[in-house]
A = this chain, B = another copy of it.
Amino acid sequence: MTEATPAPIAAPTASSTRDRLLDAAADLFYREGMHIGVEALCRAAGVSKRSMYQLFDSKDEVIAASLDRTAAAYRAALFPAADDAGSPRERILHVFRRLEALSVDADFHGCPFVAAAVELKVPEHPGSLAARRHKNALIAYFRHEAEAGGAQDPAELSRHLTVVFDGANSWGVVQGSGTDGLAISMATTLLDAAGMKDTAG
């Protein structure tokens, strides 16, 4: 019996290079800022500049794509599981409880999408557009749950919850000591005022 030829170690595919680059970009941009240069980014990702420019036209495109890639993980960190059986009120409060927990982490620098928009300064930057898109996904989540829970004005409630979410994030960043329970207490007040009781399922 001849020995089986070992399978060659797969060469990195374009897809895995792309993922590695975007993961490193998301991490580096969040921890250090959007001004991080292409050199530092490629070094952190272990990707050549040539490879980067084969995949993306510009650093601006890398920023936007890295925010898109961040979005899935960020939503997974904030939202309850899809098969979660909690009430709409609970599914909204889950987000604020998660924010409180994230905000005391040493690596907390606020909402990655707000941080991107604040740092990029230009509302039409591809990264700012990505930030707006993903913030709007949070608003849509709140609105969906607000409608399911019979809130008096789901559109207004979803905007107010978003202001609380972002304001609590800013509090955490500026004070450097978490969101101090403000996210939960204010969200609870808004849900009570909108008539969203825990009985709606």
Partner of A118, one of B32, B110, B128: B110
Candidate in A32, A128, A186 with the most chain B CB atoms within 10 angstroms:
A186
Partner of A166, one of B124, B156, B171: B171
Question: In chain B, what residue has the closest Cβ to A180?
Answer: B159
A50 at the B interface (CB under 8 A): no
Question: In chain B, what residue has the closest Cβ to A168?
Answer: B163
A119-B118 CB under 8 A given contacts A167-B167, A170-B169: yes
Q: What mask results when residues 152 to 173 of chain A are scored 1 for a CB within 8 Å of chain B, else 0?
A: 0000100110111111111101
A46 at the B interface (CB under 8 A): no
Measured in the bound complex, the distance between the Cα atoms of B182 and A168 in whole Å is 15
A42 at the B interface (CB under 8 A): no
For residue A177, give the distance in angstroms from its CB to the closest CB of chain B: 8
Partner of A163, one of B33, B34, B131, B182: B182
A135 at the B interface (CB under 8 A): yes
A117 at the B interface (CB under 8 A): yes
Partner of A162, one of B119, B166, B167, B189: B167
Measured in the bound complex, the distance between the Cα atoms of B183 and A163 in whole Å is 9
Q: What mask results when residues 94 to 122 of chain A are scored 1 for a CB within 8 Å of chain B, else 0?
A: 00000000000000011101110111010
Which residues of B are found within 8 Å of A186, using beta-carbon distances? 160, 163
Candidate in A121, A167, A186, A189 with the most chain B CB atoms within 10 angstroms:
A167
The 9 closest A-B pairs by CB, nearest first: A167-B167, A123-B176, A163-B167, A166-B170, A35-B35, A166-B167, A117-B174, A114-B170, A135-B174
Q: Which residues of A contact B (CB under 8 A)?
A: 31-35, 109-111, 113-115, 117-119, 121, 123-124, 128, 131-132, 135, 156, 159-160, 162-171, 173-176, 180, 182, 185-186, 189, 193
Excluding A128-B176, A163-B186, 18 further A-B contacts by CB distance (< 8 Å) are: A33-B35, A109-B121, A113-B174, A115-B118, A117-B173, A118-B118, A118-B173, A131-B174, A132-B174, A132-B175, A159-B171, A159-B182, A162-B171, A163-B164, A163-B171, A163-B182, A166-B166, A166-B174
